[in-house]
Chain A
Amino acid sequence: MKSNRLFRAAALLCAALTLCGALTGCAATYEERTAFAMGSVLTARLYAPKEDADLLFDRITEKVNAADACLSATDPSSEISAVNAKGSANASAFTRKTLGDMVMLCNMLNGTLDVTVGAVTQLWGFSTDHPRLPSEEELRAAQETVGLERLLIDDVNGTIVLGPGQKIDPGAFGKGVALDEARDALQSKAYSAVVSFGGSVLLFGTPKKGKSWTVGVRDPFSGPNDYFASLSLTPDKPDYTGFVATSGSYEKQFTEDGVVYHHILSPLTGYPVETDLVSVTVYATSGINSDALSTACFINGLNGETLRWLNSFGAEAVFVYQNKEYYVTDGLKDAFTLTDDSFTLKTYEE
C-alpha cells in the first residue's frame, strides 16, 4: 500500500515536470557574446558549448573587422578610404570582389542604389557628429561624380580606379557583407546561432528541431527595444541561413529650419528620398542582398518594379508607412504576427 502511494506520488511528479518542460519550451542553452565593430553593436547568441562559442565569436569578430578594414569609408586606413583619397589604389581580391558584387546589385536594382555616391554622402555627413544640409551648388558638383560607368575594378593589376572626384560609399551594403562573413565563420562549426549587427540579423540553423526563429520588427515610432510585429522564420536548404535587414528613416536624421532630413539619399537627386514610408524590412538568403534590397525598396517604394526585384532575389519584405499602415509580401504573410494593433494592414494592388 505504502509503495503504491509512493509510486503514485513519483508518477505525478514526473508528469508535472514533463508538463512544465513542455509548456516552458525547455529552451536550448546558448552562450551570448557582444563586441563593437564597424561603429555598431555585434551580438551573437550561439547554441554551442562555452569553449566553442568563444572560438566562434572570435572568428566572427575577426571576419567582420577584416571586412571593415577593407571596405570602411570612414576609417582612413581602410582600402576603400585609400581608393577614395587617391582616386586609384591597390585593393585586395576581397575588396575588388565585394565591390564588384555591389556594382552588380546597383545595376540589377536599376540605379536605385549607386556605390559611387560617396561624394554626396560625405557632404551630408550623416556618419559624422555634425550632419548638415549642403548647398545646391555643392550637391550639383558632387552629383556629377556619381556614375558606375566611371568606376574601374581592375583585376589584372589589382587596383580600383575612380572617375574624377568620385568616391565610393559601401554604406548600403556594409552590414550585409559583414553578416555574410559571419555566416562563413559559423559554417566551420554546425551550431545554430543568431547574430545581430546594428539592426541587421543573421539566422543560422534553427533554435531547436521543428522550431522557428522569431525576429521582432522595430516599431519606427517608439524606442529601439520596441517592436510592432514579429517574423517567425525557418532558414531553409541548402545552407539553412537567413538574413533580415531594415532601412528606416528614423535611424539617422537631423532637423534644420524645421525640416527633418534623414540619411537615405536618392542617388538621382542627392537629397533624402521623399516618401511616405518609414521603414522597409527585407528577408533574403544573403546579407548583402537583404541590406541592399531594404535600402532600394525604401527608395523605390512599394510598386510593381520593387516587388519584381524582391521576387527575382527570392526575398520578402515588410513595408511600414508614416500613417502606421504596413504591407507584407505574400511569402512572408504566414510568418508575420502583428503585436501592436495600432498598426493597420495596407491594401495594395498592382
Chain B
Amino acid sequence: MKNKLKRFLRPADLIAAAAVLAAAGLLALLGGTDGATAEIIVGRQTVETVDLTAVREPYTIALDNGVTVAVEPGAISFCASGCPNQLCVRAGKLTKAGESAACLPNETLIRVTGRARNAPDALTG
C-alpha cells in the first residue's frame, strides 16, 4: 500500500502540489471584487452602468433630474445637484467596491458595485 502511494506520489508531485497551494493562497489573498463597475440608480431604476476601468478621459453624465455625475478613470462622484445641502457633492469620489453616495432629495444613488475583500455586510452610522 505504502509502495503504491510512493509510486503514485513522487517528490515532483509534492513540489507541484506546494506550488498549487501557494498559487491558491495568493489568489485568495488577491481575490475579491475590485470595484471595476459603477452604477447610477434613480429611484429603483439603474439608469447607467459604467466600467470604470475602461474610462480613459474624464466626462460627466447629466441626468434628467438635474443631477450631474462625474466619471474619471477608476472613480465616480456627484459633481452638481440642485439640492440645498450638497451632501452628495461633498461625499467626494468613490473608488472602492461597495462605496456609495446618495442625493436624497433627487433620489439618486451612485455606487461602486461588488464587495471589497473583508468588507462588512453592512454599515451602521
| A contact set with B: CB distance below 8 Å | 4, 8, 12, 15-16, 19-20, 23-24, 33-36, 39-41, 45, 61, 129-130, 194, 196, 199-201, 203, 207, 213-220, 223-225, 227, 230, 244-246, 248, 279, 281
A216: chain B residues within 8 A (beta carbon)? 119-120, 122-124
Whether B121 is near chain A, meaning CB under 8 Å from some CB there, is: yes
Q: Which residues of B contact A (CB under 8 A)?
A: 8-9, 13, 16-17, 20-21, 23-25, 27-28, 31-32, 41, 43-44, 84-85, 91-92, 94, 96, 98-102, 104, 107, 109, 119-125
Chain A positions within 8 Å of B17 at CB level? 12, 15
Q: Nearest Cβ in chain B — how far from A278, in angstroms?
A: 10
Chain A nearest CB from B94 CB (Å) reads 7
The answer to whether B13 and A8 touch across the interface, beta carbons within 8 angstroms, is yes
Q: Is the CB of B121 within 8 A of A207?
A: yes
Q: Is B121 touching A214 in the complex (CB atoms < 8 A)?
A: yes
Known: A12-B17, A34-B44, A34-B109. A281 touches B121 (CB 8 A): no
> Mostly helix, strand, loop or mixed at chain A's interface?
strand
CB neighbours (8 Å) of A201 from chain B are 122-124
Q: A34-B41, A34-B109 are in contact. Are A41 and B102 (CB under 8 A)?
A: yes
**Most interface-central of A41, A213, A223 (chain B CB within 10 A):** A41
The residue of chain B having its C-beta at the shortest distance from the C-beta of A230 within the complex is B120
CB–CB B124/A129 < 8 A:
no
B23: A residues at CB distance < 8 A: 16
B44 touches A33 (CB 8 A): yes
Give Cα A242–Cα B31 distance, bound, in whole angstroms.
Answer: 30
Name the residue in B28, B99, B100, B123 with the highest tally of chain A Cβ atoms < 10 Å from its Cβ: B123
A194 to B98, CA, bound (A): 14
Whether A23 contacts B125 by the Cβ 8 Å rule is no
| B20 near A45: Cβ-Cβ < 8 Å | no
Cross-chain contact of A41 among B32, B91, B109, B121 (Cβ < 8 A): B109
Q: Is the CB of A224 within 8 A of B91?
A: yes
